[in-house]
Amino acid sequence: MNIVLLGAPGAGKGTQGQKLVEDCGFAHISTGDLLRAAVKAGSELGVKAKSYMESGQLVPDQLVIDMVKERLDSDDANKGFILDGFPRNTAQAVALDSELADMGRDLDAALLVSVPDEAVVARLSSRRTCKSCGYTAPAGTDTCPRCEGEMYQRDDDKAETIQHRLDTYHTQTAPLIEYYKGHSILKEVDGNRPVDEVYADVKDLLNL
C-alpha cells in the first residue's frame, strides 16, 4: 500500500506513520530525512540541495522529487511506502503523480490526521526536547528519561512560532486535502484522541 500522510504540524501523523511502518513493514519516506542524508553523504543530489539550504533558499520541487523518486526505487519501498512531509502543495502532488505513473505505481490513500488548531498549539507548546538526544516529553520533565540530558523548549514549540507554522500549513498544504478528495483517495481520521484509538481507526480506514 502506498500512502501520503497529511496533517498540521503536531497533529500526530508521524506517530501514526511509525506505527504503520512497525506493523506493516512499509518504507517510511521523510523528505527532511532524505535531504539530511543526501547532504551528509555528499551525493550529487545532496550537493545541489546543500547549495540552496546554505543560502537560505527553499530546495526546488524537482530536486526534492528526484530524491523521493530515487528512494522509491529502493527494494524496501516495493512492498509499500508512507510519504511524510511531501507533497507540501498541489504542484508537488501533480508532479508526484506523474513520477509514480512513469514507475507504474500509484497512491492508494492520502491519510489526513485532523486536529483543531487550538489543540495543536496546546500540544506542541507543552513539549520539551532533550538537548543531547532529541527525546521529547511533556512540560515539567526537566531531565531526559532516556539519557538524563537537559530538557528545553525549542523555538519551534513556542506558541507564536506554532501559529505561524499553522498559518503556513493552511495556506500551502491544506489545499492538498481538496486535491486528494477529488481523486477519491482521502481518508480522514480524528487525531484529537489517544494514540491507540486513532491508530485503530487508521487501520480500519486503510483496511489493514
pLDDT at 44 > cutoff 80: yes
**Mean pLDDT calculated for residue range 101-107:** 92
Mean pLDDT of 106-131: 92
In the set 105, 158, 165, 203, the catalytic residue is 165
Q: Is residue 141 part of a domain?
A: no
Share of the chain above pLDDT 70, in %: 100
Is residue 128 in a domain?
A: no
The dihedral formed by the CA atoms of 30, 134, 50 and 168, expressed in degrees to the nearest 10: 60
Q: Is residue 137 part of a domain?
A: no
Tens digits of residue pLDDT in 177-200 = 999 999 999 999 999 999 999 999
Tens digits of residue pLDDT in 141-182: 889 999 999 999 988 788 888 888 898 888 888 899 999 999
* Number of domains comprising the chain: 1
Asked if residue 26 belongs to a domain, the reply is yes
pTM of the predicted protein model: 0.80
- Is residue 99 included in any domain, yes or no? yes
165 included as an active-site residue: yes
- 88, 158, 193, 203: which is the annotated catalytic residue? 88
**Domain-located, residue 161:** no
Domain of 48, in residue numbers: 2-115+168-205
Annotated active-site residue in 13, 123, 128, 187: 13
CATH number of the domain enclosing 172: 3.40.50.300
Q: Is residue 122 part of a domain?
A: no
15, part of any domain = yes
Tell me how far CA of residue 149 lies from CA of 12, 95, 134, 140, 146, in angstroms: 24, 43, 9, 14, 8
Out of 154, 158, 193, 203, which one is annotated catalytic?
Answer: 154
- Identify the pLDDT of residue 7: 92
Q: How far apart are CA 168 and CA 45, in angstroms?
A: 26
88 carries an active-site annotation: yes
Task: List, as one string, the DSSP characters of 137-163.
Answer: EETT--B-TTT--BEE--GGGSHHHHH
**C-alpha cell, 160:** 507564536
Residue among 71, 123, 127, 128 flagged as catalytic: 127
